[in-house]
Structure 1
Amino acid sequence: MHDGTIRDLAFMEGPESGGAILISAGAGDCNIYTTDCQEDRVCTRHILSLYTWGGWMIASGSQDKTVRFWDLRVPSCVRVVGTCFPRFSPVASVAVDPSGRLLASRSQVVPATHQRRASVRFSPGAHYLLTGSYDTKVMVTNLQGDLTKQLPLTVVGEHGDKVIQCRWHTQDLSFLSSSADRTVTLWTHNP
């Protein structure tokens, strides 16, 4: 379906889907395709990065520097949010905390460091935010404080080349990171 590199994918687990909806996002055509694996039906939406939650919801990061919220039960976007740094870069990664109340997004270039960020994910319970970047570092931000102020950021790991993706374990404070150095590393976060 895509005419370029497939940059991200996920299975949607919803009340009626039974985990049978595949979501893929690609470069080239910059589209997201949702495929109902049981009915072999494809639907297209514009996207560069994605995150699914709540059975039917998708948050997408776009080349137009916005985060869009989609509900698969309706045919169009339900909300558009501009990023904090719209003049710098497209949205490379999005995540929603387990409660559905907090959104984290990463621009491809973070203005203070001019480093490309590849991945952003909330921990189970949303106490920490995990980020990976092209500067080879894996970082954790402690979210247990005043979210309107600067929060503590700790470098918890480093690869030999740029970090591509980071994912928390679903139940504890361990996580995986993958890198262009051709490794996947399992880390444990001990706050």
Structure 2
Amino acid sequence: MPGSGLSGKPRFIAVTSLDDVQAVRCAEFHPSGRLYAVGSNSKTLRICSYPKLSDLRDDHTTCQSTVLFKRTKHHKGSIYCLAWSPAGDLIATGSNDKTVKLMRFNADTCNMEGQEIELAMHDGTVRDVCFIEDMSNKSSLLVSGGAGDCKIYVTDCVTGTPFQALTGHSGHVLSLYTWGGAMFISGSQDKTVRMWDLRTRGCVNMITPLTTPSSPVNKGSPVASVAVDPSGRLMVSGHEDASCILYDIRGNRTIQSFKPHTADVRSVRFSPSAYYLLTGGYDNKLVLTDLQGDLTMSLPSIVVAQHQDKVISGRWHPNEFSFISSSADKTSALWALPPL
């Protein structure tokens, strides 16, 4: 499938599903791909094992996810976001209780180790978190953003101390993404995407993606999700007006605006090869868009998965052609293609 285009209409099937009593906001694969973590409005953090896909068949019946670790009341509020460090030995979660929790994780025992660190510098809901490797001293930095004062904080994971507060956004920070090095981007309710470089300690570029380029009164739309392809050349932003924008970072220009959904695009992610774009929307759908042709032309896209309610996130497996989704329908599902 990867590299073959969308000609064969791939039919992803739900291999496993996790049920919760409230909306499931976030799910992220461990860098090893053997596990994934799921955070819910029920304040519960779960870590599940990645299922064996070698014997997957077309007539597969969705089964329950295998939960290896479960912590109830992990936060005092809903878990809005979570992230793994690149080495997979740290996990961070953010909540509407305005805190970030940072924990050491042992992938072999699938358990938390030592004392968790609670970070309380935010004065509103923490909407997204991501880790950056500090190459100078081989430690991890945690970037977090959200509502309240709209500041983005950078925390040293060794000391658990926030040492930078980045200002610039005038609306809630809804999405953060890093793609290696000291660079990361943030998407905000203020309709802008900002690019940050931790070496220069500031914003190096600000983009207001124009979601309806032909309109003379175009004001853009709140940026609900952002991602960058592994090469660092292509950015995608997902907006509340159902638009996606492909942006050429090096050329500093919009390539095109398209609408893969009929409601807010809450999640955007390039596949590991960057052949495909996976988007999740408030129209209950996950859509796969083929990026292998001319990016200025109309892009082929198909619905590959569906939930009973809003899709909040979709995440690719780090090296297999499968993904996890989370939804307001109180489930998180793992989707894969049966062998041809």
TM-score (structure 2 length as normaliser)? 0.53
Cross-structure match for 1:90: 222
* Aligned counterparts of 1:41 and 1:30: Cα–Cα separation in 2: 15
Could you tell me whether the CA contact under 8 Å between 1:161 and 1:179 is conserved in 2? yes
Could you tell me whether the CA contact under 8 Å between 1:156 and 1:189 is conserved in 2? no
Cross-structure match for 1:115: 263
Asked whether 1:28 is paired with 2:151, we answer no
* Aligned counterparts of 2:279 and 2:326: Cα–Cα separation in 1: 12
CA-CA distance at 1:17 after TM superposition? 5.5
Cross-structure match for 2:115: none
Asked whether 1:76 is paired with 2:196, we answer no
Cross-structure match for 1:130: 278
Greater RCO between the two (CA within 8 Å, min separation 6)? Answer: 2
Structure 2 stretches of 5 or more lacking a match? Answer: 1-120, 212-217, 244-258
* Aligned counterparts of 1:103 and 1:172: Cα–Cα separation in 2: 22
Seen in structure 2, the aligned counterparts of structure 1 residues 69 and 102 have a Cα distance that, compared at 3 Å, is same
Report the structure number with the largest CA radius of gyration.
Answer: 2
Could you tell me whether the CA contact under 8 Å between 2:132 and 2:180 is conserved in 1? no
> Which residue identity lines up with residue 142 of structure 2 in the other structure?
L
Cross-structure match for 1:55: 181
Cross-structure match for 1:102: 234
Higher mean alpha-carbon deviation, 27-36 vs 158-167, is at: 27-36
> Which residue identity lines up with residue 26 of structure 1 in the other structure?
G
Cross-structure match for 2:162: 41
Higher mean alpha-carbon deviation, 167-176 vs 8-17, is at: 8-17
> Which residue identity lines up with residue 95 of structure 1 in the other structure?
A
> Which residue identity lines up with residue 105 of structure 1 in the other structure?
S
Taking only aligned residues, the RMSD between alpha carbons, in angstroms, comes to 2.0
Cross-structure match for 1:151: 299
Seen in structure 2, the aligned counterparts of structure 1 residues 114 and 142 have a Cα distance that, compared at 3 Å, is closer
* Aligned counterparts of 2:207 and 2:265: Cα–Cα separation in 1: 19
Aligned residues: 191
Could you tell me whether the CA contact under 8 Å between 1:94 and 1:106 is conserved in 2? yes
Structure 1 stretches of 5 or more lacking a match? Answer: none
> Which residue identity lines up with residue 42 of structure 1 in the other structure?
F
Could you tell me whether the CA contact under 8 Å between 2:130 and 2:142 is conserved in 1? yes
Query: Percent identity, aligned pairs only?
Result: 55
Could you tell me whether the CA contact under 8 Å between 1:9 and 1:22 is conserved in 2? yes
- State the 4+ residue runs in structure 1 displaced beyond 3 angstroms: 111-114
CA-CA distance at 1:142 after TM superposition? 0.6
* Aligned counterparts of 1:186 and 1:19: Cα–Cα separation in 2: 31
Residues 117-168 of structure 1 deviation map (CA, whole Å, 9 limit, x = unaligned): 1000000110000000011101110101110011111100011111111111
Could you tell me whether the CA contact under 8 Å between 1:130 and 1:166 is conserved in 2? yes
For residue 120 of structure 1, give the secondary structure of its aligned residue in structure 2.
strand
> Which residue identity lines up with residue 155 of structure 1 in the other structure?
V
CA-CA distance at 1:98 after TM superposition? 0.3
Seen in structure 2, the aligned counterparts of structure 1 residues 79 and 156 have a Cα distance that, compared at 3 Å, is same
Cross-structure match for 1:171: 319
